[in-house]
Chain A
């Protein structure tokens, strides 16, 4: 929170310029008020001893006067009245005055933090990855000003970019922009660490997690997606692109017996009846399509293709078996 020296200097030059213009003279301003602002700014930078403050005032281009310890105490008392918390350090450390708290600190009340968390969830799905990085960094910065541990942790943890290696992320962003063919080590939840070859396409947030999407010879049926937190090595860019797989989008026809279900971006209503609608889901990712269908429960019946219909049926039977097995 402290003001850098260069900034103080720029303020001084501003003062100089102002005085040069002769629009104001000392009797047209409050010199004691000005001195208190100088002192406050000086303490904002870092803790200062009386001797340092005295020297600073003496050498100050416009003040050119010393300050007695009694006068300094009066200024300190005044700042404390205004809500500053100033302590004097140990003698062994130079008896420096330290500004712990002041009324110009950003104070973020709990309701504002909760609202930030609330909108972040919504924003993170919509904004570009660069903006998401900016927001994450900004939240990290303001989190330092939050006293409540729980809220501070909640604000820092809300970003899907937490725990992500920023060096890896930067390389992935560039690879997606150039549509590079890359290889990297991936810690798969199903099969453990393995090398992945991928034509990188995009980075996107789903369920508050960042995924890398692309085309991989290891996943020929649909677009491959990888949780970025599980990428364990920096991606290596291949000079020659060898992946030439064409992915045919998966088209699934579903009958929905609830006309009030929110339709997603990759879904299209192709028929509307009194009590139901028929939609077509177009997707590059079979896994997410199946998850979407399951989440709609009994309101949704897959009509085509037969392979997806069978797969859903098989999953549902396994789900039922889990509960039966539990009873036994």
Chain B
């Protein structure tokens, strides 16, 4: 239900804060700003606008006009940003600038703009100084695969299935799938897909993709959820930190732990659990346990 407002209000207050809100949201296009003053005579609108811009100026708010848009230069309502905050925004900004186009880049750009709009004069000064002396180098990030990553990001956002052909252990694998998300490692990017026929998640290193095309069929709305239970013991059980998709199911008398893992792509999970050597065993499901045993036996053959 819409909130009922009391009848009497102050027009000057409404106008100045509406203008400020547009400036904060970086939406103060000339036309949008002039709409605030439509109640006034057309020939007086400019005068009224100037009156309000002067009010902001007197209050200490800096506004510039560029390309038919008003832009806020400082934050009138003091969110205080310290050096740590400004440095962090700069790190995120440098990193985001190098990300390929896509959802991650877009959302981070918006976040950075929101925070930058709240910098006061001092914060802006520090921000400019840090930017000019920054030695953080992220230029190696994803530079070789930018186009492929952008294509994958696009497919993840759209509602259609994709047909993908990729290399895995020297074999070419073909699959029809839902493209889910692009995952960024410290130097590599992966696409996470849901293979429709197999009912399984997979994570593919983007340079290993031979081809990826959209097909004229809507993404499967239902995906099977997958959970794996495994046991860890000894030193691993004492030091293990649960991942974000995991929870502790039980702690046994000998200190062993039973972990429930949800929706980690099986290939990725198997490789991770292999690292834990004999301190980790899969309990269920049976098919993944069998795959793990096969993986151990196949590896053993290299040494027998």
A interface residue numbers (CB < 8 A to B): 1-4, 7, 10-11, 14-15, 18-19, 24, 28-38, 40-41, 44, 73-75, 77-83, 102-104, 106-109, 111-112, 114-116, 118-119, 121-123, 125-127, 131, 133-135, 137-139, 141-142, 154, 189-190, 208-209, 227, 230, 257-260, 262, 275, 290-292, 294-302, 309, 312-313, 315-323, 326
Asked whether any CB of chain A lies closer than 8 Å to the CB of B302, the reply is yes
Task: Give the CA-CA distance A57 to B283 in the complex, in Å.
Answer: 71
Given contacts A33-B55, A209-B241, contact A295 B184 (CB under 8 A): no
Q: Which residues of A contact B87 (CB under 8 A)?
A: 131, 134, 138
Question: Closest 6 interchain pairs by CB?
Answer: A32-B12, A3-B78, A36-B13, A189-B238, A138-B88, A33-B16
Q: Are B239 and A227 in contact (CB under 8 A)?
A: yes
Please provide the chain B residues from 93 to 117 with a CB less than 8 Å away from any CB of chain A in the complex. 95-96, 99, 103-104, 107-108, 110-111, 114-115
Q: Are B60 and A119 in contact (CB under 8 A)?
A: no
Q: Are B60 and A190 in contact (CB under 8 A)?
A: no
A34 to chain B, nearest CB (A): 5
Q: Are A122 and B136 in contact (CB under 8 A)?
A: no
A54 to chain B, nearest CB (A): 17
Q: Which residues of A contact B241 (CB under 8 A)?
A: 208-209
Q: Are B8 and A260 in contact (CB under 8 A)?
A: no
Task: Give the CA-CA distance A114 to B241 in the complex, in Å.
Answer: 20
Task: Give the CA-CA distance A301 to B115 in the complex, in Å.
Answer: 50
Q: Which residues of B contact A73 (CB under 8 A)?
A: 6, 8
Q: Are A30 and B12 in contact (CB under 8 A)?
A: yes
Q: Are B278 and A32 in contact (CB under 8 A)?
A: no
Q: Which residues of B contact A33 (CB under 8 A)?
A: 12-13, 15-16, 52, 55
Q: Which residues of A contact B80 (CB under 8 A)?
A: 4
Given contacts A3-B77, A10-B60, A127-B136, contact A141 B55 (CB under 8 A): no
Q: How large is the interface on B (under 10, 10 to 19, 20 to 34, 35 or more residues)?
A: 35 or more
Q: Which residues of A contact B8 (CB under 8 A)?
A: 73-74, 77
Residue B170 contacts which of A106, A259, A262 (CB distance < 8 angstroms)?
A: A259
Q: Are B78 and A30 in contact (CB under 8 A)?
A: no
Q: Which residues of A contact B78 (CB under 8 A)?
A: 1-4, 7, 44
Asked whether any CB of chain A lies closer than 8 Å to the CB of B58, the reply is yes
- Chain A residue nearest in CB terms to B182: A118
Q: Chain B: interface secondary structure? A: helix
Q: Chain A: interface secondary structure? A: helix
Q: Are B13 and A29 in contact (CB under 8 A)?
A: no
Residue B184 contacts which of A118, A298, A319 (CB distance < 8 angstroms)?
A: A118
Q: List 22 A-B contacts (CB under 8 A).
A: A14-B59, A15-B60, A29-B55, A30-B52, A33-B16, A34-B55, A37-B55, A82-B21, A115-B107, A115-B111, A122-B95, A134-B83, A134-B85, A137-B88, A190-B235, A260-B169, A260-B170, A260-B208, A298-B301, A300-B302, A309-B303, A319-B296
Q: Are A134 and B16 in contact (CB under 8 A)?
A: no
Residue B300 contacts which of A109, A291, A316 (CB distance < 8 angstroms)?
A: A316
- Chain B residue nearest in CB terms to A6: B78
A291 to chain B, nearest CB (A): 4
Given contacts A28-B54, A36-B16, A260-B205, contact A108 B9 (CB under 8 A): no
Asked whether any CB of chain A lies closer than 8 Å to the CB of B84, the reply is yes
Q: Are A320 and B300 in contact (CB under 8 A)?
A: yes
Please provide the chain B residues from 102 to 153 with a CB less than 8 Å away from any CB of chain A in the complex. 103-104, 107-108, 110-111, 114-115, 118, 120, 136, 138
Residue A79 contacts which of B17, B85, B298 (CB distance < 8 angstroms)?
A: B17
Task: Give the CA-CA distance A297 to B118 in the complex, in Å.
Answer: 50
Q: Are B76 and A37 in contact (CB under 8 A)?
A: yes
Q: Which residues of A contact B10 (CB under 8 A)?
A: 32, 36, 74-75, 77-78
Task: Give the CA-CA distance A123 to B118 in the complex, in Å.
Answer: 24
Asked whether any CB of chain A lies closer than 8 Å to the CB of B183, the reply is yes
B125 to chain A, nearest CB (A): 14
Supplied contacts A44-B77, A116-B92, 11 more A-B pairs, CB within 8 Å: A3-B77, A24-B57, A37-B55, A40-B77, A41-B76, A82-B21, A142-B115, A294-B277, A294-B299, A313-B304, A320-B300
